Structure 1
Amino acid sequence: MRPSDVPIPSSPTAPFPLTTPFCDVVAGFGRGSAQLGIPTANVPAEQLPEDFDSLALGVYFGFARLQPTSNDEDDDHHHHPHQARPDGSHVHFNNGSRLATEDLQTLPVVLSVGMNPFYHNQTKTVELHLVHTFAHDFYGAQVKFRVLGYIRPELDYTSRDALIADIRTDIALAQRALALPGYAQQSDF
C-alpha cells in the first residue's frame, strides 16, 4: 500500500454503493488520452445524484455501463457536432454510434472526483477511466456507474510520470477489489 491508500474492505460499506442515472459523456480537457495515455470519460457534475456532493475529493472504483444516445449508424462526420477544446483540438460527438457489443458490457471503472491539482483546475470534475480498450471515442454517449469504494485522496504531483504511476496503481487496486465476491456481485445494475 502507498501511504495515501485507504484500506479497502471485503465488500462495499456506507455510503457505498452509489449509483448514478445515465449521464452524458462530455468533452473534458483532453489530457487523459493525449498527455497521460489513460483516456477518461467526463460527466457533468450537475447530472450526478446529490450524494456525490458529499464525497471526499479523491479516487474511487466501481462498475460502469455505456449506452449510445443515437441509433445513427451513419459514419459521415458532417452529421455529428464538433467541439473545439481550449488547446485547439476538436472533439467529434458520435453519440456512441461506433461502440461495439463488448463496449456495452458492464466494465470496471476508476474515477477521479476532484480539482486535479496537478493541472490547477478551477472547478470540480468527475472523470471516469473505464478499464477496457475502445476502438473509438464515444463523446455524446451516456454512462451509468456504480461507485463501490474509495482508494485514496486527491494528491498533487511533481511530475506527470508520478501521476501516471499512481493512476496505474489505482487501476490495479480497483481490479483486485472488484474481483472480490462482495464487489463482483454489485456489477449487475
Structure 2
Amino acid sequence: AVATSSGRPSVAPKLTPHGWASGVFEQVVCGEDVARGKPAPDIFLECARRCGVAPSRCLVVEDAPAGVEAAAKAGMRVLAVPSLRGAEEAYRTAGACEVLKSLLDARPERHGLRPFGDLVGGVAAPVEAWRVAGEVIKGFGRGGKDIGCPTANLPTEALEACPGATSSCGIYVGWASVGDDHTVHKMVMSVGWNPFYQNERKSVEPHLLHTFAEDFYGAELRLVVCGYLRPELDFDSFQALVDAIEGDKANAHRVLDLAPFSGFAADEYLRPPTKKSL
C-alpha cells in the first residue's frame, strides 16, 4: 500500500512511469483521504484499516522525518531511507527502527517478514543493469599499494552522465572490458565517499578480477553493472576494511557465474568501438 500526503491527482503521474507499480499496491491513501497529514498518524492508520491489518504488523518505508514520525505514532515499525546525506540521527529520533543507505539494503526478515527471494547466491541483489564508460584516471593511490586491491578509477562525471546509473552509494558487481581488447572481465566496484578514508569527493572505483601486466591509465573502460552487494561502511580497523574487500571480491567472483549475472558478460556494450577504415 501507498500512504502519501500528496493529493490524488499528483500520485498517478508519479506511479505511471514505473510499469511494475501497476497492480502492486492494493491501496493508495492520499492527503485528502484523512483529516490530518503527516506527522499525524492518520494516513497510516487509514491505510492499515483499508488493508485489514493491525498497525503493529505493518512495516513502513519512509524517506522523510515527518513520515517516520507519523508511522511510529501509528504503532508501526519504520525503515528510513534518508533523502539527505548525513541526516541519519534525525530519522532515528523521529522513530525509525532501522536507517538504511538504500532500499537495496532492506532485509524484511529482520522484521518478521519473508525474505526477498531474488538474492543471487544469497548475497547480491539484482539491479536494472546500467552501462557506463570513461577514461581510466589516477585515483587516491592506495588501492594497490595499501589494500592489495588496485582500482581502475573513472571520473565521477562519467557516472553522472550515465542514463539509468544509480545514485546509491555501495559495492556493486558486473563486467568490464578495457581499450581495444575484446576480453571481458569480472569486476567489483565501490561507488561513494569511502567513509574509512573520509573522502571529500565521491569516487567510482572498479576493481577488475584479473591481473594485468601493466597499468592502463587513459584507456577506455566499459562497465555493465548488474548487481549490488552491500552499502558503504566505516570500519574500526584497517584490517577489517581489507577483510571486507576480500569478501567482496570472493562474492563477486562467485555470483557473476550465476544467472542472471552471467548473461551480462555477452552484453554488446562491452565490445570495443569499431574503428572506421580510411
Does the pair score TM above 0.5? yes
Greater relative contact order, per chain length (Cα 8 Å cut-off, separation 6+): 1
Matched residue type, 1:145: L
Counterpart among 105, 128, 131 of residue 16 in structure 1: 128
Matched residue type, 1:120: Q
Question: Which of the two has higher C-alpha Rg?
Answer: 2
Counterpart among 207, 218, 241 of residue 140 in structure 1: 218
Give the unaligned 5+ runs of structure 1. Answer: 69-100
Q: TM-score, normalised by structure 2?
A: 0.50
Correspondences of 1:163-178 after superposition (within 5 Å): 163-178=241-256
* Contact 2:177–2:184 (Cα < 8 Å) also in 1: yes
Change (3 A) 1:5 1:130: farther
State the Cα distance separating 1:51 from its structure 2 match: 2.8
CA distance in 2, matches of 1:5, 1:66: 34
Counterpart among 30, 51, 68 of residue 164 in structure 2: 51
CA distance in 2, matches of 1:146, 1:132: 16
- What is aligned with 1:184? 262
Matched residue type, 2:119: P
Where do 4+ consecutive residues of structure 1 move more than 6 Å?
4-8, 11-14
CA distance in 2, matches of 1:5, 1:171: 22
Q: TM-score, normalised by structure 1?
A: 0.72
CA distance in 2, matches of 1:40, 1:141: 13
Backbone CA RMSD of aligned residues: 2.3
* Contact 2:126–2:227 (Cα < 8 Å) also in 1: no
CA distance in 2, matches of 1:132, 1:168: 14
The percent of aligned pairs where both chains have the same amino acid is: 39
**In the alignment, is residue 42 of structure 1 matched against residue 153 of structure 2?**
yes
Correspondences of 1:5-154 after superposition (within 5 Å): 9-10=119-120, 15-20=127-132, 22-48=133-159, 49-52=162-165, 54-67=166-179, 104-154=182-232
- What is aligned with 1:77? none
Change (3 A) 1:61 1:5: farther
* Contact 2:130–2:163 (Cα < 8 Å) also in 1: no
Residues matched between the structures, number: 150
- What is aligned with 1:76? none
CA distance in 1, matches of 2:221, 2:195: 25
* Contact 1:5–1:151 (Cα < 8 Å) also in 2: no
Matched residue type, 1:45: T
CA distance in 2, matches of 1:150, 1:142: 23
* Contact 1:109–1:130 (Cα < 8 Å) also in 2: yes
CA distance in 1, matches of 2:125, 2:147: 31
Offset from partner CA, 1:37-91 (integer Å, 9 cap, x none) = 1100110111220433x431110000000015xxxxxxxxxxxxxxxxxxxxxxx
Determine helix, strand or coil for the equivalent of 2:256: helix
* Contact 1:5–1:152 (Cα < 8 Å) also in 2: no
Determine helix, strand or coil for the equivalent of 1:43: coil
